[in-house]
Amino acid sequence: MKSKHHNVRTFVQIVAAVTATFALMSAGNHATAESAASASFCGTKPIKIALATGFNGNSWRQITRAELEDEASKCKNITEILYTDGQLNPQKAISDIQGLVAQGTDAIVVFPDAGPALLPAIRAAHKSGVSIVPYISSPGGEPGKDYSASVVPDNAAIGALFANWMAERLHGKGVVVFFGGTPGNPTDQAIYEAAKKALVSKPDIKLVGGVQVTNYTAADAQKAMTGLLAQYPDIGGIISSYGGSSVGALRAIVSAGKPLVPLATTDINELGCAYYDYKPSNPAFELMTVGSYTWQSRAALRKAVAGAEGLKNDEPSVQSPTVLEDSTRQDLRPRCDKGLPLDVPQSANLSVEQLKALFAKK
């Protein structure tokens, strides 16, 4: 998933969509999991923690960092928080992890954008005694053996959910394209393969073009969609692992003078607002989103800190998706809050005040 995400334009209406799946993506589920876990993970031993990401160049990444910082503020024994940005360079991401270990970091939360390429460095950190927890994306390996624990979405469930919803919208026939993020990341591949598998029983729906690389940016998604439209002029639907880049795909369709098509992706304020702007002149345009799971940095932090403190953490490691918006359902209509930044996910577990303060810094 951001790795889950540039130019995210998402909104917040804290609906905490947090179920033990996509990371608690529903108001009630989110609150329940938070209250159950927050009180007991800190311990008492002074520790230094770190957040290591494959890149930090979009709003989604900024929000996940803010969520981690907010969670860390509950622990008075956390003496320092370090940050690294791999800048989309796997070798730098590897060096970053090695550097954090050398600095005596006790607990590391890592977004392994480079996937299995990071596993040796993660495994080495774990064997050296560091409590290291990958989140959102898996580097491969096994929790407890190669790293302390992990927190990931159920990507197979997400891919099947997207594919089945799309099949219903297209009445079992049409051409569908898939938009991912960074090249070769395991999250996108898992969602894509699950969607592909779900569509096997629907032979008249063609999933074409493979996983389109967008680097989680709207600009790259727009370029990719422009190229796809030249090759497949009758695209009938879009599945995307990241709502922030999906905006670019819609722009390409509009620029080409074609009608918008159904889109299944993660939540973002801009998409909710775009739905109401475009729907009157695009009757076939429908939108379904699941939560953006920015809160998973919190869950990963809790597991990492608990590991460093020698405490038990029984929170689920794999979380399933919860549908937040579905324009075909009256109870899940797309939401647009023009009082909030466009690049804020509505599923974020931060207050409106926190989100506004975060984006005021940009």
Domain membership flag for residue 177: no
Domain membership flag for residue 243: no
Domain membership flag for residue 83: yes
Give the pLDDT score at 359: 84
DSSP line for 163-231: HHHHHHHTTT-EEEEEE-SSTT-HHHHHHHHHHHHHTTT-TTEEEEEEEE--TT-HHHHHHHHHHHHHH
The mean-pLDDT minimum among 200-204, 323-327, 329-333, 343-347 falls in 343-347
pLDDT tens-digit profile of 261-297? 999 999 999 999 999 999 999 999 999 999 999 999 9
Domain membership flag for residue 307: yes
Tokens of 57: 């160049």
Q: Which residue has the tokens 């990492």?
A: 304
Give the pLDDT score at 211: 97
Per DSSP, which regions of the chain are E strands?
47-53, 78-85, 107-111, 131-134, 152-153, 174-179, 205-212, 235-240, 263-266, 287-290, 318-319, 323-326
- pLDDT at residue 96 greater than cutoff 70: yes
Q: How confident is the model at residue 362 (pLDDT cuts 50, 70, 90)?
A: low
Domain membership flag for residue 189: no
State the Cα–Cα distance between residues 201 and 27, nearest whole angstrom.
34
- Which residues constitute the domain of residue 104? 28-152+294-318
Give the pLDDT score at 219: 96
- pLDDT at residue 1 greater than cutoff 60: no
pLDDT tens-digit profile of 217-230? 999 999 999 999 99
State the Cα–Cα distance between residues 202 and 233, nearest whole angstrom.
21
Give the pLDDT score at 58: 82
Query: Can you say whether residue 294 is alpha, beta or left, with left for phi > 0 and alpha for psi between -120 and 50 degrees?
Result: alpha
Give the pLDDT score at 361: 67
Domain membership flag for residue 190: no
Q: In CATH, what number is assigned to the domain containing residue 142? A: 3.40.50.2300
Q: How many domains does the chain have?
A: 1
Higher pLDDT, 30 or 47: 47
DSSP-derived 3-state class of residue 79:
strand
DSSP-derived 3-state class of residue 318:
strand
Domain membership flag for residue 300: yes
Q: How confident is the model at residue 18 (pLDDT cuts 50, 70, 90)?
A: very low
pLDDT tens-digit profile of 145-165? 999 999 999 999 999 999 999
- pLDDT at residue 90 greater than cutoff 70: yes
Domain membership flag for residue 311: yes
- pLDDT at residue 32 greater than cutoff 90: no
